Protein backbone atom coordinates (compact mmCIF):
# COMPACT_ATOMS: atom_id res chain seq x y z
CA UNK A 1 0.00 0.00 0.00
CA UNK A 2 2.74 2.45 0.99
CA UNK A 3 4.76 1.72 -2.17
CA UNK A 4 1.69 2.18 -4.37
CA UNK A 5 0.86 5.50 -2.69
CA UNK A 6 4.43 6.72 -3.13
CA UNK A 7 4.40 5.90 -6.85
CA UNK A 8 1.06 7.66 -7.29
CA UNK A 9 2.35 10.73 -5.45
CA UNK A 10 5.41 11.14 -7.62
CA UNK A 11 3.52 10.31 -10.82
CA UNK A 12 1.14 13.19 -10.11
CA UNK A 13 4.03 15.45 -9.16
CA UNK A 14 5.81 14.84 -12.44
CA UNK A 15 2.77 15.64 -14.61
CA UNK A 16 1.82 18.95 -12.98
CA UNK A 17 0.87 21.55 -15.59
CA UNK A 18 3.89 23.62 -16.71
CA UNK A 19 2.44 26.84 -15.26
CA UNK A 20 2.62 25.29 -11.78
CA UNK A 21 6.33 24.53 -12.05
CA UNK A 22 8.80 26.58 -10.05
CA UNK A 23 11.53 26.30 -12.70
CA UNK A 24 11.38 27.36 -16.38
CA UNK A 25 10.49 24.74 -18.98
CA UNK A 26 13.32 23.02 -20.83
CA UNK A 27 13.90 23.91 -24.49
CA UNK A 28 15.50 20.59 -25.48
CA UNK A 29 15.20 16.92 -24.52
CA UNK A 30 18.04 17.04 -22.02
CA UNK A 31 20.47 19.64 -20.69
CA UNK A 32 22.76 17.75 -18.31
CA UNK A 33 24.34 20.25 -15.92
CA UNK A 34 28.00 21.02 -16.46
CA UNK A 35 28.79 21.60 -12.80
CA UNK A 36 32.34 22.66 -13.65
CA UNK A 37 31.38 25.36 -16.16
CA UNK A 38 32.39 28.97 -15.53
CA UNK A 39 29.30 30.18 -17.39
CA UNK A 40 26.85 31.84 -15.00
CA UNK A 41 23.15 31.69 -15.81
CA UNK A 42 19.78 30.84 -14.24
CA UNK A 43 20.51 27.13 -13.77
CA UNK A 44 23.55 25.39 -15.22
CA UNK A 45 25.15 25.32 -18.64
CA UNK A 46 24.59 22.14 -20.65
CA UNK A 47 27.28 19.48 -20.85
CA UNK A 48 28.21 18.58 -24.45
CA UNK A 49 25.82 15.86 -25.64
CA UNK A 50 28.70 13.55 -26.55
CA UNK A 51 29.83 13.52 -22.92
CA UNK A 52 26.42 12.64 -21.44
CA UNK A 53 26.15 9.16 -19.87
CA UNK A 54 23.67 7.22 -17.77
CA UNK A 55 25.63 8.26 -14.67
CA UNK A 56 24.30 11.80 -15.13
CA UNK A 57 20.78 10.50 -14.43
CA UNK A 58 21.51 8.15 -11.52
CA UNK A 59 21.90 8.57 -7.75
CA UNK A 60 21.76 5.91 -5.05
CA UNK A 61 22.11 8.18 -2.06
CA UNK A 62 18.48 7.88 -0.92
CA UNK A 63 18.62 4.10 -0.52
CA UNK A 64 20.07 4.12 2.98
CA UNK A 65 19.31 6.07 6.14
CA UNK A 66 21.48 9.08 6.93
CA UNK A 67 23.43 9.49 10.17
CA UNK A 68 21.37 11.41 12.71
CA UNK A 69 23.92 11.61 15.52
CA UNK A 70 24.10 15.40 15.40
CA UNK A 71 22.74 18.36 17.37
CA UNK A 72 19.31 18.30 15.73
CA UNK A 73 18.98 14.53 15.47
CA UNK A 74 18.11 14.69 11.78
CA UNK A 75 19.85 14.55 8.41
CA UNK A 76 18.72 15.69 4.96
CA UNK A 77 20.13 13.81 1.96
CA UNK A 78 19.43 15.82 -1.19
CA UNK A 79 18.93 14.39 -4.68
CA UNK A 80 18.98 17.64 -6.61
CA UNK A 81 20.77 18.86 -9.73
CA UNK A 82 24.05 19.07 -7.81
CA UNK A 83 23.86 15.30 -7.23
CA UNK A 84 22.00 14.33 -10.42
CA UNK A 85 23.18 16.63 -13.25
CA UNK A 86 20.50 15.20 -15.56
CA UNK A 87 17.86 17.07 -13.53
CA UNK A 88 19.02 20.37 -15.02
CA UNK A 89 16.01 22.20 -16.60
CA UNK A 90 13.58 19.41 -15.58
CA UNK A 91 12.11 21.25 -12.56
CA UNK A 92 12.02 18.36 -10.04
CA UNK A 93 14.16 16.94 -7.25
CA UNK A 94 13.93 14.75 -4.16
CA UNK A 95 15.38 14.53 -0.67
CA UNK A 96 15.39 11.94 2.06
CA UNK A 97 15.14 13.13 5.65
CA UNK A 98 15.99 10.82 8.55
CA UNK A 99 15.11 11.58 12.17
CA UNK A 100 16.39 10.02 15.37
CA UNK A 101 13.86 9.65 18.21
CA UNK A 102 13.25 13.23 19.30
CA UNK A 103 14.95 14.52 16.14
CA UNK A 104 14.01 17.86 14.62
CA UNK A 105 14.26 19.30 11.11
CA UNK A 106 14.23 22.88 12.41
CA UNK A 107 12.12 25.74 11.02
CA UNK A 108 13.28 26.56 7.49
CA UNK A 109 12.04 27.62 4.07
CA UNK A 110 12.53 26.55 0.45
CA UNK A 111 12.47 29.80 -1.55
CA UNK A 112 12.16 28.11 -4.94
CA UNK A 113 9.80 25.17 -4.39
CA UNK A 114 6.76 23.61 -2.82
CA UNK A 115 7.58 20.45 -0.85
CA UNK A 116 5.55 17.24 -0.60
CA UNK A 117 6.67 14.70 2.01
CA UNK A 118 5.80 10.99 2.07
CA UNK A 119 6.44 9.19 5.36
CA UNK A 120 8.54 6.06 4.89
CA UNK A 121 8.72 5.09 8.57
CA UNK A 122 7.69 6.42 11.95
CA UNK A 123 5.46 9.29 13.00
CA UNK A 124 6.15 13.02 12.75
CA UNK A 125 4.62 16.24 14.02
CA UNK A 126 4.81 18.66 11.10
CA UNK A 127 3.62 22.15 10.36
CA UNK A 128 4.00 25.39 8.43
CA UNK A 129 3.20 29.01 9.20
CA UNK A 130 1.24 31.21 6.79
CA UNK A 131 1.97 34.88 6.12
CA UNK A 132 -1.04 35.60 8.35
CA UNK A 133 0.98 33.95 11.14
CA UNK A 134 -1.34 30.93 11.37
CA UNK A 135 0.18 27.56 12.22
CA UNK A 136 -1.10 24.66 10.09
CA UNK A 137 0.05 21.49 11.85
CA UNK A 138 -0.68 17.76 11.88
CA UNK A 139 0.72 14.45 13.07
CA UNK A 140 1.52 12.19 10.11
CA UNK A 141 2.58 8.56 10.03
CA UNK A 142 3.86 5.86 7.66
CA UNK A 143 2.26 6.03 4.20
CA UNK A 144 0.81 9.53 4.69
CA UNK A 145 1.55 12.76 2.80
CA UNK A 146 1.82 16.41 3.82
CA UNK A 147 2.43 19.55 1.74
CA UNK A 148 4.54 22.59 2.62
CA UNK A 149 3.75 25.53 0.31
CA UNK A 150 6.61 27.29 -1.43
CA UNK A 151 8.50 29.82 0.67
CA UNK A 152 6.62 29.27 3.94
CA UNK A 153 8.43 28.47 7.19
CA UNK A 154 7.95 24.82 8.15
CA UNK A 155 9.35 22.05 10.35
CA UNK A 156 9.18 18.33 11.18
CA UNK A 157 9.68 16.77 14.63
CA UNK A 158 9.93 13.11 15.56
CA UNK A 159 8.31 12.84 18.97
CA UNK A 160 8.27 9.05 18.79
CA UNK A 161 10.55 6.52 20.46
CA UNK A 162 11.76 5.03 17.15
CA UNK A 163 13.51 6.53 14.10
CA UNK A 164 11.46 8.10 11.32
CA UNK A 165 12.12 8.93 7.66
CA UNK A 166 10.45 10.73 4.76
CA UNK A 167 10.97 11.18 1.05
CA UNK A 168 10.42 14.81 0.01
CA UNK A 169 9.57 15.90 -3.54
CA UNK A 170 10.14 19.42 -4.88
CA UNK A 171 9.02 21.20 -8.05
CA UNK A 172 12.50 22.64 -8.56
CA UNK A 173 15.82 21.14 -9.56
CA UNK A 174 17.43 23.14 -6.73
CA UNK A 175 14.82 24.29 -4.19
CA UNK A 176 17.25 25.94 -1.81
CA UNK A 177 17.01 25.73 1.98
CA UNK A 178 17.23 28.60 4.45
CA UNK A 179 17.25 27.62 8.12
CA UNK A 180 15.67 30.45 10.10
CA UNK A 181 17.89 30.27 13.19
CA UNK A 182 21.12 29.82 11.24
CA UNK A 183 20.23 32.56 8.76
CA UNK A 184 19.67 35.08 11.54
CA UNK A 185 22.29 34.08 14.09
CA UNK A 186 25.09 32.61 11.96
CA UNK A 187 25.11 34.84 8.87
CA UNK A 188 28.42 36.06 7.48
CA UNK A 189 28.97 38.93 7.93
CA UNK A 190 26.84 38.71 11.08
CA UNK A 191 23.48 40.38 11.58
CA UNK A 192 24.14 43.16 14.12
CA UNK A 193 23.41 42.20 17.71
CA UNK A 194 21.20 45.22 18.27
CA UNK A 195 18.96 44.19 15.36
CA UNK A 196 18.46 40.67 16.75
CA UNK A 197 18.08 41.92 20.32
CA UNK A 198 15.31 44.33 19.26
CA UNK A 199 13.59 41.82 16.99
CA UNK A 200 13.49 39.03 19.56
CA UNK A 201 13.15 41.27 22.62
CA UNK A 202 16.21 39.77 24.30
CA UNK A 203 19.48 41.16 25.61
CA UNK A 204 22.78 41.32 23.75
CA UNK A 205 24.23 38.61 25.99
CA UNK A 206 21.46 36.23 24.94
CA UNK A 207 22.14 37.10 21.29
CA UNK A 208 25.84 36.30 21.67
CA UNK A 209 25.01 33.04 23.45
CA UNK A 210 22.76 31.92 20.60
CA UNK A 211 25.32 32.97 17.99
CA UNK A 212 28.02 30.95 19.73
CA UNK A 213 25.87 27.83 19.69
CA UNK A 214 24.99 28.17 16.00
CA UNK A 215 28.43 29.17 14.77
CA UNK A 216 29.79 27.02 11.90
CA UNK A 217 31.29 23.79 13.19
CA UNK A 218 29.07 23.70 16.27
Q: Is 194 annotated as a binding residue?
A: no
pLDDT tens for 151-202 read 999 999 999 999 999 999 999 999 999 999 999 999 999 999 999 999 999 9
* Predicted structure pTM score: 0.85
67 domain residue, yes or no: yes
- Domain enclosing residue 159, as ranges: 58-176
Same structural domain for residues 168 and 151? Answer: yes
Task: Write the CATH number for 75.
Answer: 2.60.120.10
Split into its structural domains, the chain has a count of 2
User: What pLDDT was estimated at residue 41?
Assistant: 77
Q: Is 110 annotated as a binding residue?
A: yes
HEC profile for the chain? CHHHHHHHHHHHHHCCCHHHCCCCCCCCCCCCECCCCCCCECECCECCHHHCCHHHHCCCCCCCCCCCCCCCCEEEEEECCCCCHHHCCCCCEEEEEEECCCCEEEEEECCCCCEEEEEEECEEEEEEECCCCCEEEEEEECCCEEEECCCCEEEEECCCCCCEEEEEEECCCCCCCEEHHHHHHCCCCCCCHHHHHHHHCCCHHHHHHHHHHHCCCC
Q: Is 115 annotated as a binding residue?
A: yes
Same structural domain for residues 167 and 73? Answer: yes
Q: Which residues of the chain have pLDDT under 50?
A: none
User: What pLDDT was estimated at residue 13?
Assistant: 58
Same structural domain for residues 113 and 206? Answer: no
Q: Is 208 annotated as a binding residue?
A: no
Amino acid sequence: MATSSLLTLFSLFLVLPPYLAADPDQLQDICVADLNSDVKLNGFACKPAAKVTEVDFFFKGLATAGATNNTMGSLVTAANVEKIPGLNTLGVSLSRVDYAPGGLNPPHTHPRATEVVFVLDGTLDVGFITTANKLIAKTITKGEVFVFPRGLVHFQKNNGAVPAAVIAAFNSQLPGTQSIAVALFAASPPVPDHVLARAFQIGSKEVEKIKSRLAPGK
